């Protein structure tokens, strides 16, 4: 790849974050909750199944952490980039899915995937830079990319939420430094095919930019598309891979993640990217030492039965949410999720009265039914909504029962609706 002119480069200046966050958007929805309506609050907004018994953490993982803590060997500060054994474990874990071996020198341990995100964006900071982000996407990227102009490319629902690559090329210019890919996809629940990921890497090479691959939901897939790590294509374009324990192991509160360099041509060294990342971690807080110490056991020895159970639960919950959504007038889910913990619901305002847009829908649903969804405007896609299916089955049933009642109450008159509840068919005619 020596002939390619790459446009990214390191800069050790740390830039402050922007103001747009998912929590900020949700604050606007949550303030509409009415504690006097007599209904318990059902959150289908946050991807955190850890509170539900069905998704309890593996006993093996608990024991690994307990053993590390009880040893009394890991109560002090960690090394800057992480404990050597923990870095080696991450490298070995990721290398299983790659055609080459990641080394421990390529791995930096982080306070969750959010700090990995911060490090990647900070490493690319330079005057006039711009970065390409997916729409819909995870809003923390935009909030933390204050160093750069943000440009959005679309994920196309009619194409299984694939990237509009022609639009990506049109968006880029001489100041573009990176493209962000989230796979499996938050918020869409999509899983990119191998061939599509290869085309993304080829587009990045053509543009002379790197790929930031957010794979925090890696291997949480249950559809026809298996998970392919972006690092498979590191011979085509340089990749920064972000990941964590949070989702696959159902421990988001442990705040342990990683940033990994996938750079087979050593372009990051030539452009000072690695040096800048090292500077970032020299001044950043280290992840918890005893959890780092447990990583070799957790990553390499957790029984596969635990993952199989979680994936099967997600599959069943995703199927139920998909089915129930498409039985309710005024909303639909055109694309069945194949991974992650979320699906996107499309709002049809032509079938509803007194609803202005997705944010208004979510605010009124929270007020009237105490069901909390994420409005699509907070994810970059107006008149859609994000729903998590990483909850107990009973929560899904009750949430969609209330959502159905809400949509019927706000449905336009003279609309006939037929749908299934269990096995009988009920027909409602509004006149």
Q: What is the mean pLDDT of the chain?
A: 90
Q: Is the preceding peptide bond at 16 cis, omega within 30 degrees of 0?
A: no
Which of 197-206, 270-279, 327-336, 409-418 has the least mean pLDDT? 409-418
- Find tokens 């890991």 and name the residue: 74
pLDDT score of 359: 95
pLDDT score of 265: 85
Q: Which helix (H) or strand (E) holds 190?
A: none
The domain boundary residue, chosen from 301, 320, 354: 301
Write the CA distances from 200 to 197, 241, 326, 357, integer angstroms.
Answer: 5, 15, 32, 33
Tell me the per-residue pLDDT of 155-180, one tens digit each, with 9 for 90 and over: 999 999 999 999 999 999 999 999 99
In a domain, 325, yes or no: yes
- Find tokens 């191998």 and name the residue: 194
Which of 16-30, 213-227, 377-391 has the least mean pLDDT? 16-30
Say how far apart CA 12 and CA 1 lie, in whole Å. Answer: 26
Q: By C-alpha distance, which of 29, 78, 19 is closest to 364?
A: 29
In a domain, 402, yes or no: yes
Q: Which two tokens stand for residue 379?
A: 């994810």
Do both 178 and 253 map to the same domain?
yes
Residue 136 neighbours by CB under 8 Å, 6+ apart: 155, 187, 188, 344, 376, 379, 380, 381, 384, 386
Do both 343 and 228 map to the same domain?
no
Q: Which helix (H) or strand (E) holds 23?
A: helix 22-30
Which of 9-18, 52-61, 105-114, 176-185 has the least mean pLDDT? 9-18
Do both 79 and 144 map to the same domain?
yes
Do both 159 and 139 map to the same domain?
yes
Do both 260 and 326 map to the same domain?
no
Do both 76 and 207 map to the same domain?
yes
In a domain, 99, yes or no: yes
Q: Which long-range contacts (CB under 8 A, 24 or more apart) does 422-425 make?
A: none
In a domain, 20, yes or no: no
pLDDT score of 430: 33
Write the CA distances from 266 to 95, 122, 235, 239, integer angstroms.
Answer: 18, 19, 10, 11
pLDDT score of 300: 97
pTM: 0.90
pLDDT score of 271: 73
pLDDT score of 268: 77
In a domain, 275, yes or no: yes
Write the CA distances from 58 to 162, 263, 293, 304, 392, integer angstroms.
Answer: 34, 34, 17, 10, 17
Do both 267 and 382 map to the same domain?
no
Do both 321 and 246 map to the same domain?
no
Residue 407 phi/psi, 5° resolution? -65, -35
Do both 95 and 163 map to the same domain?
yes
Residue 420, domain extent: 32-47+305-429
Adjacency order of strands within the sheet including 257-262: 107-110, 257-262, 239-244, 210-214, 176-182, 130-135, 149-156, 162-163
Do both 231 and 353 map to the same domain?
no
Do both 288 and 400 map to the same domain?
no
Q: Is the pLDDT of residue 17 over 90?
A: no
Tell me the per-residue pLDDT of 296-327, one tens digit each, with 9 for 90 and over: 999 999 999 999 999 999 999 999 999 999 99
- Residues 371 and 292 sit within 8 Å (Cβ to Cβ): no
Tell me the per-residue pLDDT of 195-213, one tens digit each, with 9 for 90 and over: 999 999 999 999 999 999 9
pLDDT score of 285: 87
In a domain, 278, yes or no: yes
Secondary-structure percent of the chain, ordered helix, strand, coil, rounded to 5:
40, 20, 40
Tell me whether residue 179 is exposed, middle or buried, using C-beta atoms within 10 angstroms of its C-beta: 0 to 12, 13 to 18, 19 or more.
buried
In a domain, 8, yes or no: no
| CATH number for the domain harbouring residue 113 | 3.40.640.10
Per the structure, how many domains does the chain have? 2
Higher pLDDT, 413 or 380: 380
In a domain, 22, yes or no: no
pLDDT score of 429: 35
The domain boundary residue, chosen from 301, 332, 352: 301
- Residues 251 and 57 sit within 8 Å (Cβ to Cβ): yes
Say how far apart CA 63 and CA 240 lie, in whole Å. Answer: 31
- Find tokens 């990217």 and name the residue: 273
Do both 290 and 410 map to the same domain?
no
Number of residues written out for the chain: 431
Q: Is the pLDDT of residue 333 over 80?
A: yes
Say how far apart CA 2 and CA 54 lie, in whole Å. Answer: 51
Where does the pLDDT of residue 22 fall: very low under 50, low under 70, confident under 90, or very high at 90 and above?
confident
Tell me the per-residue pLDDT of 89-130, one tens digit each, with 9 for 90 and over: 999 999 999 999 999 999 999 999 999 999 999 889 888 999
| CATH number for the domain harbouring residue 379 | 3.90.1150.10
% of the chain surpassing 90 pLDDT: 80
The domain boundary residue, chosen from 244, 268, 301: 301
DSSP H helices, 258-369, are 267-270, 273-283, 289-301, 304-325, 358-369
Please compute, for residue 188, the number of CA atoms within 13 A of its CA located in the half-sphere on the CB side: 26
């Amino acid at each position: 790849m020596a002939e390619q002119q790459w446009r990214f480069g390191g800069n050790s200046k740390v830039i402050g974050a922007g103001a747009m966050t998912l929590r900020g958007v949700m604050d606007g929805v949550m303030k509409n909750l009415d504690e006097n309506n007599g209904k318990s609050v059902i959150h289908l907004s946050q991807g955190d199944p850890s509170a539900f018994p069905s998704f309890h953490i593996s006993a093996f993982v608990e024991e690994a952490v307990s053993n590390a803590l009880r040893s009394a060997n890991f109560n002090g500060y960690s090394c800057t980039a992480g404990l050597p054994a923990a870095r080696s474990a991450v490298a070995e874990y990721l290398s299983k899915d790659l055609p080459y071996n990641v080394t421990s020198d390529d791995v930096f341990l982080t306070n969750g995937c959010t700090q990995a995100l911060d490090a990647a964006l900070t490493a690319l900071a330079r005057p006039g830079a711009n970065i390409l982000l997916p729409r819909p996407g995870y809003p923390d990227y935009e909030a933390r990319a204050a160093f750069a102009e943000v440009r959005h490319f679309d994920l196309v629902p009619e194409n299984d939420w694939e990237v509009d690559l022609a639009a990506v090329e049109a968006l880029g210019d001489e100041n573009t430094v990176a493209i962000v890919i989230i796979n499996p996809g938050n918020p869409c629940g999509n899983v990119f095919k191998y061939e599509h990921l290869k085309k993304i890497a080829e587009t990045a090479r053509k543009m002379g930019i790197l790929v930031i691959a957010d794979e925090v939901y890696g291997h949480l897939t249950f559809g026809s598309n298996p998970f392919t790590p972006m690092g498979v294509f590191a011979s085509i374009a340089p990749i920064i891979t972000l990941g964590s324990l949070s989702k696959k192991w159902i421990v988001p509160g442990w705040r342990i993640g990683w940033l990994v360099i996938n750079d087979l041509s050593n372009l990051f060294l030539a452009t000072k990217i690695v040096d800048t990342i090292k500077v970032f971690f020299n001044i950043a807080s280290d992840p918890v030492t005893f959890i780092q110490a447990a990583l070799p056991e957790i990553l390499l020895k957790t029984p596969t039965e635990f993952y199989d159970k979680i994936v099967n639960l997600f599959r069943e919950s995703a199927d139920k949410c998909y089915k129930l959504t498409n039985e309710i007038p005024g909303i639909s889910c055109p694309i069945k999720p194949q991974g992650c913990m979320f699906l996107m619901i499309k709002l049809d305002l032509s079938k509803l009265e007194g609803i202005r847009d997705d944010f208004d829908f979510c605010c009124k649903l929270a007020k009237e039914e105490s069901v909390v969804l994420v409005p699509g405007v907070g994810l970059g896609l107006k008149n859609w909504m994000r729903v998590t299916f990483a909850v107990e089955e009973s929560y899904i049933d009750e949430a969609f029962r209330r959502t159905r009642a809400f949509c019927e109450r706000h449905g336009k008159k003279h609309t006939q609706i037929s749908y299934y509840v269990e096995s009988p068919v009920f027909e409602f005619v509004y006149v």
